[in-house]
Amino acid sequence: QVQLVESGGGLVQAGDSLRLSCSASGRTSSVGAMAWFRQAPGKEREFVAAVTWTGRTTYYADSVKGRFTVSRDNAKNTVYLQMNSLKAEDTAVYYCAHDAVGISTQEIGYQFWGQGTQVTVSS
């Protein structure tokens, strides 16, 4: 089993920055990937960003490219999402997820999920 705990969410203004953290414990896979998804009120959960265990490969949703950066610190078993130039449409609950097999932009590929952290961006 893998346990994921997100932190760093909050209320910010448009244009501000925020960094989310996801701490992993348990049997994380050294060949898998970590990802961030988000779900806005009344909408389906959507992919945001993902990074492989090595950190060499990253994927981003088009809506966040150039503004968000995903990274990981394997020594701390933690993945980060640096969010810059935040917009009101970034408001959502952000979830961290772990895929033990590989990297994907699809929810179905991720076996373990955190409880989510709320990010609210006021315009």
In tens, the pLDDT along 26-85 reads 876 666 899 999 999 999 999 999 999 888 999 999 999 999 999 999 889 999 999 999
Beta strands in 29-85 (DSSP E): 33-39, 46-52, 58-60, 68-73, 78-83
What pLDDT score was predicted for residue 30? 67
pLDDT grade for 6, boundaries at 50, 70 and 90: very high
What angle (nearest 5°) sits at the alpha carbon of residue 64, between those of residues 59 and 70?
50
Please say if the pLDDT value at position 19 is more than 70. yes
At 68-95, the pLDDT tens digits run 999 999 889 999 999 999 999 999 999 9
Give the helix/strand (H/E) hosting 94: strand 92-99
What pLDDT score was predicted for residue 102? 87
